[in-house]
Amino acid sequence: MASGEIIIREAREADLPVLIAMFAADPLGGHGDTIDPDAYPDYVRAFATIAASSTQTLYVAEWDADVVGTFQTMITTSLNARGASAMIVEAVQTRADLRGQGIGARMIEFAIAEAKSRGVRLVQLTSNAVRKDAHRFYERLGFKPSHLGFKMALK
């Protein structure tokens, strides 16, 4: 890969094929992502929902005009903590062949800076329990494991 600057920008619908391919290539994701053309409308609907939201943003990382990573942020406000807001960072993905190049760190640093600029009190994320390398990565960036998460699949 070339040595240009990593640029973070909001995702565009035209980015979907690259993003879908990144998610589908992830053997640990377990989210059922696929490059099957029949699934494409599902991704377009999800993108439209995110794009229309005032509290969600889907970003991409570009390196020399190639999309090489993605992440999504959501701002939530809770009644507890005196009505404080938190940023949730989700769907962090770096192209597999480019991991270890600083792309993930640049994406997370961008999210943290964005949270600070919005007066958010907390940045939080979850990571699949099997992603030990990702856990070490997040801890290196200053995140602390603090909660145990639970999920219930409805479909």
Task: Please state the φ and ψ torsions of residue 106, each to the nearest 5 degrees.
Answer: -65, -40
148 C-beta neighbours (distance < 10 Å), count: 6
144 C-beta neighbours (distance < 10 Å), count: 6
- What is the model's pLDDT at position 130? 87
User: What letter represents residue 104's amino acid?
Assistant: G
- What is the model's pLDDT at position 155? 77
The secondary structure of 3-38 as a DSSP string is: ---EEEEE--GGGHHHHHHHHHT-TTT-S-----GG
Q: Is 86 helix (H, G, I), strand (E, B) or coil?
A: strand
- What is the model's pLDDT at position 7? 96
H/E stretch holding 103 reads helix 103-117
- What is the model's pLDDT at position 29? 67
- What is the model's pLDDT at position 24? 93
pLDDT below 70 — which residues of the chain? 1-3, 29-30
Round to whole Å and give the CA distance between 86 and 114.
11
Q: For the domain covering 6-140, report its CATH number.
A: 3.40.630.30
- What is the model's pLDDT at position 71? 98
pTM: 0.91
Q: Which residues contact 22 (CB under 8 A, 6 or more apart)?
A: 69, 70, 93, 95, 96
For residue range 84-115, list pLDDT tens digits in order.
999 999 999 999 899 889 999 999 999 999 99
Domain locations in the chain? 6-140
Write 108-115 long-range contacts (CB < 8 A, 24+).
108/71, 108/138, 108/141, 109/141, 110/8, 110/59, 111/59, 111/71, 111/73, 111/87, 114/73, 114/87, 115/73, 115/87
